[in-house]
Structure 1
């Protein structure tokens, strides 16, 4: 090929939109795309499995705030990525996926027997992406990429799918080089009448509580600052969901941390006269597995219309979390008397307690409940991790017992807590942490169980190849620990949860990765040693962690 191709148009448009890094794996129909990549300034990060490439692009986006770009090949490659895209879609992570397709002559099943052919590849992505685009002519490539980028960064953010046939990627083009591209997200401020009605409810409430979800963290409109303004104006306790972990400072006297799975916290939320839910669907985990039964009125703010009132009757406010919180804070400042915050702080509105006293009492009851159970190993383990991990480090967690603890008790401080709680698939942590490390240029931590680690063990090669500064902590309990505990609790015995234990240290070293196995009480020093290295490192702890027993209703 001597001239510019459709693949060049893809690369030029991405570069003009501000992309700097792409993730993915080549394939036969995508060769024109990767050939064009070789002529660009874009950094390419290869993975060994497409699902993990999607996780890596997701982790990159979460760490940098940029759009994660993913290149996929046709058929099996595209399908293998879908579980990773489901996590990004359910957690509102902005990504742009460029997938190849069979040649135009084979689209619509007019010609059977083509390698990698699917009857409708785009339909396969429909459940795990915000929108899907197909390009049939080179001149349509820049507009499709630009529109997809704008869609991906519009709240609720998420992955968007663009597919381009093989011959369109390879064909020479007359379109001049793309020099500029603009993708502006659609704005979603709250409607004025909804703000006014919300303020009427909130101003009249003596006991308001706030649930802060992932939408607060994902907002680009300073939502965390405005959340604190609203909480302090209303003297309202705040609990963060797993996705919203770090949205509100844990050391604040109104903070309930992230103990959404604790019945004492659920009791307080039920007792609120008004429950303000921002950036959360009040789904399974946040509603304490649908045991939450609010007795007061609910206001729900979310950028995704289908989330509103999906689980509870609410006053639904379709808006970006930051814009809504800013509007509420401004309106409340005007609506509330100047002395109200101080008088509220001194008023025993929570059954003889101020809001701060009520929060302190709930936090004490949570700690007391844990004290009553034999959880010394688990609590020491989490405390040792927290002490060893720098305050600003980005951490990525697989669906493992340690992550279930982390959802509730991990204070991310000035870093961020990322987990696969959106879709709940296995194998997220390590490839996502690779993407995060390469994006942020800093060491990240991945926490996995032995079951989930096997989903992404091949990415040790990618971590070495790209020099990713990632510490991978593998908690090896010989099986699918959380499923084992669920089954033993429900049926008295576990079935199909036990796994053959590989030698993770030897596996890591075979890739050239420094690795060691340590006792559970030595995890802190072991993690500390990895901070002094460059490149990936693995720490293995063989131990059985258990979940806490929840407080049940009488």
Structure 2
């Protein structure tokens, strides 16, 4: 039997001595920094604003590394990527009002991609709260309201003693499956005021595990073992829970083909005999999935892009493993298992029998042959050759980040992410400008590993200011800008739907000259020289830019 006194953490002599004699001059900002350090943070992203200066001053006096970007939204994208790569909560420091609101699209992407971002934002002084009529600079009527619909949880501080607990609760929320962005709000005067509170030394924010219920995995295991044509759909949850190895073991035990969603790229080996790869928008693959008598969906809600734009109509049973409770059976009736993908796959490995299906690999091969024939008929050799050129140049361990651009759409379906958690895009929320600032965050997370960002010329314009960031910190990021003089995807969409496009043709800069003005080496490349130019750029320390003027086409949709 556990008694309350058994749960009390008794201070050590050193902790008692430190508590009785805290360093002078500490503020609420110091409590923020001390709590982050106590939780294990080593790096923070953001840029200062008037109400948040006390936090940044505390960071200056600490051993936290500050990576300061030029635009709040780009700082959010960088923190998102840092969280994806490390699996740690990535602190993002924001200032009140306009600065905070500018980061909303990045936080939406983090929410859609289940990235653990810990946004800590200032607020007007306590006296100005509650009415939106006090006349404070940056004042909003209800700042929290702008974020509640975007982030996973909101944590509000109104006194210094609340800071450690609020940040710890937010940290735990961000790292509890499913991961996601969280929001902490602290008024300026609380951050600035001196505190007599002792230094924060022990912070426990261990996230709880989310195991599956055994009766559900027992039934799922029975269905899968007895199935005639089982198929597995592996989503981003497999990546976030580091479960790729268990997924492969289960697929091989069941002789079950695997298709990865765009968020699940790299969750299953691309060239494995059971790999259907990622052709989620191809009708041949959709037909294959519909023909399954048991479909195991792991870490995916079968949303728009994972269901061939909601044309997927399964005929067999579905087992859905999903950490996000709201996504269980959101699109299709299923045996819903609310669990972390890694724990659920482990439970299935312990309960499924061995199943042999010599014809599974042959059916996969035939389907991929049909996909290839369809692409050949559309004359898509330029686009596929560019993907091959990028793959040939990019080291297997290097992360790549793809913006919402035509080559990025191709990469969703056709790029071989040779290792888990190495290919990322903004396909969760679909906002522009993700790739380059996100790549900077990944370079911070993995110093010494070259990182690739791929943008169109339209999306690139969102992140040009971060060339200064890349240069300032010497980050090993190669930025490939594919330039077709506009918003190429929207140009295609509008032409198909309305006969001609509007607002999609853009006047752009000389990208190489612009990069060079920041002190960033830049080269104009061609489809024929791309592999060689990329290899050279990726081996060059610090940031580089490659400008590729070309017009690409997206593969024809096959929803029907």
TM-score range, shorter chain: over 0.9
Which segment drifts farther, 515-524 or 92-101?
515-524
Structure 1 residues 552 and 317, CA gap change in structure 2 (3 angstroms): closer
2:427 paired residue among 406, 421, 429? 421
Question: Which consecutive residues of structure 1, in runs of 5 or more, have no partner in the other structure?
Answer: 347-353
The alignment covers a number of residue pairs equal to: 536
Contact 2:267–2:419 (8 Å) recurs in 1:
no
The equivalent residue for 1:369 is: 374
Contact 2:132–2:141 (8 Å) recurs in 1:
no
- Summarize deviations over 1:291-314 as a string: whole Å, max 9, x none: 111011111110011001111111
Offset of 1:489 from its aligned partner?
1.7
The equivalent residue for 1:6 is: 28
The reply to whether residue 445 of structure 1 matches residue 452 of structure 2 is: yes
- Summarize deviations over 1:366-410 as a string: whole Å, max 9, x none: 111111121121111111111011111100010001111100111
Offset of 1:159 from its aligned partner?
0.7
2:478 is paired with a residue of what secondary structure? strand
The reply to whether residue 270 of structure 1 matches residue 276 of structure 2 is: no
Q: Distance in 2 between matches of 1:485 and 1:529?
A: 33
Contact 2:311–2:559 (8 Å) recurs in 1:
no
Q: Distance in 1 between matches of 2:215 and 2:559?
A: 40
1:521 is paired with a residue of what secondary structure? coil
Which segment drifts farther, 459-468 or 197-206?
197-206
Q: Distance in 2 between matches of 1:35 and 1:264?
A: 57
The reply to whether residue 300 of structure 1 matches residue 320 of structure 2 is: yes
Which segment drifts farther, 519-528 or 160-169?
519-528
Q: Distance in 1 between matches of 2:498 and 2:329?
A: 34
The reply to whether residue 64 of structure 1 matches residue 70 of structure 2 is: no
2:321 is paired with a residue of what secondary structure? strand
2:62 is paired with a residue of what secondary structure? coil
The equivalent residue for 1:400 is: 405
**Deviating 4+ runs (over 3 angstroms):** 550-553
The reply to whether residue 530 of structure 1 matches residue 537 of structure 2 is: yes
Q: Distance in 1 between matches of 2:413 and 2:92?
A: 31
Contact 1:199–1:328 (8 Å) recurs in 2:
yes
Q: Distance in 1 between matches of 2:336 and 2:252?
A: 22
The reply to whether residue 165 of structure 1 matches residue 187 of structure 2 is: yes
Describe how 1:323-334 pairs up with structure 2 within 5 A.
323-332=343-352
The reply to whether residue 436 of structure 1 matches residue 436 of structure 2 is: no
Which segment drifts farther, 208-217 or 373-382?
373-382
Offset of 1:530 from its aligned partner?
0.9
Contact 1:399–1:424 (8 Å) recurs in 2:
yes
Offset of 1:532 from its aligned partner?
2.8
The equivalent residue for 1:109 is: 131
Q: Distance in 2 between matches of 1:417 and 1:439?
A: 15
The reply to whether residue 485 of structure 1 matches residue 492 of structure 2 is: yes
Superposition RMSD in Å: 1.2
- Summarize deviations over 1:81-104 as a string: whole Å, max 9, x none: 000000001100011111000000
Question: Which consecutive residues of structure 2, in runs of 5 or more, have no partner in the other structure?
Answer: 1-22
- Summarize deviations over 1:413-459 as a string: whole Å, max 9, x none: 13610000000000000000001001111210000000000011111
Q: Distance in 1 between matches of 2:379 and 2:334?
A: 40
The equivalent residue for 2:55 is: 33
Q: Distance in 2 between matches of 1:414 and 1:270?
A: 28
- Summarize deviations over 1:230-265 as a string: whole Å, max 9, x none: 211221110000000000111211101111111111
Structure 1 residues 110 and 420, CA gap change in structure 2 (3 angstroms): closer
Task: State the TM-score, normalized to the length of structure 2.
Answer: 0.94
Structure 1 residues 110 and 128, CA gap change in structure 2 (3 angstroms): closer
Structure 1 residues 507 and 110, CA gap change in structure 2 (3 angstroms): closer
Offset of 1:552 from its aligned partner?
5.3
The equivalent residue for 1:236 is: 256
Task: State the TM-score, normalized to the length of structure 1.
Answer: 0.95
Structure 1 residues 552 and 422, CA gap change in structure 2 (3 angstroms): closer
